[in-house]
Amino acid sequence: MLALNFFRELTLVPVIIVLMIAGAIVNPVFFTSSNLINVAEGGSALGMVVVAETLILLTGKFDISLQGTFGLAALLGAWLIAPKASSGLGAELSPWLGLVIVLLVGLVVGTFNGFLVIKANFNAFIFTLAMSILLTGLQLGWLGGQTVYALPEVFIYIGAESWFGVPVSVWITVVTFAAAALFLRYHRVGRAMYAIGGNLEAARAAGIQVDRIRIGVFMVASILAAVGGLMQAGRVTAVTAGQGSNLIFGVFAAAVIGGVSLDGGRGRMVGALTGVILLSLVTNILTLSSISSTWIDAVDGAIILIALGLAKLIGTERA
């Protein structure tokens, strides 16, 4: 069983190797250090949201509104600290306060979603879809598609700066994946999350605080999505209304092809990480091939369909 789980986690590694070879053939620039760092940086914000969604999926739920939080949290924080000349409110609050506001938006949205989905028993798909539409609509209606720019260095630090030649966002995402993996493997709450997703009634019978854990996961996931939004804002040094509006497709693609079950209780962070790496490589190769970015969503959709088929073959989906 351990060998089978190990195999499942590394299923995408051969595919990643083939993609890297293909990338080198498509364009010799592919294997340069600057391009590989660019691939990692491009996948860091996606990776944060993939960690968030994976945690929720493991408990047997999901949250489509993470992409709305990804955009709204960063936009609100940026709007409050930016001058009017750069589409901000003009209050020019402290950038540190702006960062706190970003995290608070994530916390509030996650808490609201968690209580309504878990305690009020709203359908997770319909409710979080409606929340996603609401959060994205708020951004577009609020700024009319404008971009908030000229942001303070502190606010965009995690997306714009590097440590030892590697973007800070990459370091944070790698540490987040590692921390989540260790938490799920060794902490009692992490193990309880697998139990909840695997068999809800058995988890309740075992005395696990099911509702509390699920709501807590929604809260943590939403905060992680807000941090991902900060990373994206730093990477482009601005926040555009509607940022991340198509992000959720890539998030589910990475999770599913990484072996995370949509039914809950199955999947590991290392698998989700390989899913992020694969999608980032595909995006980069398409870009280097001068293929229009409009094809990226189509490719992600095809990858999800193929992954579902492979999941059936290797048994990662329940019969």
Q: Do you know the residue count of the chain?
A: 319
Judge whether 37 lies within some domain.
yes
Nearest to 299 by CA among 315, 271, 272, 280: 280
**What is the number of domains present in the chain?**
1
Nearest to 117 by CA among 135, 131, 99: 131
User: Where in the sequence is the domain holding 232, given as residue range(s)?
Assistant: 11-314
User: Are the C-beta atoms of 253 and 272 separated by less than 8 Å?
Assistant: no
Judge whether 319 lies within some domain.
no
CATH number of 225's domain: 1.10.3470
Judge whether 6 lies within some domain.
no
Judge whether 3 lies within some domain.
no
pLDDT tens for the chain, 319 residues long, are 444 455 556 677 888 888 899 899 988 999 999 999 999 999 999 999 999 999 999 999 999 999 999 999 999 999 999 998 888 888 889 999 999 999 999 999 999 999 999 999 999 999 999 999 999 999 988 877 788 988 999 999 999 999 999 999 999 999 999 999 999 999 999 999 999 999 999 999 999 999 999 999 999 999 999 999 999 999 999 998 888 888 998 899 899 888 888 888 888 999 999 999 998 998 898 888 887 777 777 877 787 777 667 666 655 444 3
Judge whether 2 lies within some domain.
no
* Packing angle of the helix pair 66-81, 33-58 (nearest 10 deg): 120
b/e sequence 257-284, b meaning 16+ C-beta within 10 Å? bbbbbbebbbbbbbbbbbbbbbbbbbbb
d(CA 81, CA 158): 17
Judge whether 163 lies within some domain.
yes
Judge whether 221 lies within some domain.
yes
Judge whether 4 lies within some domain.
no
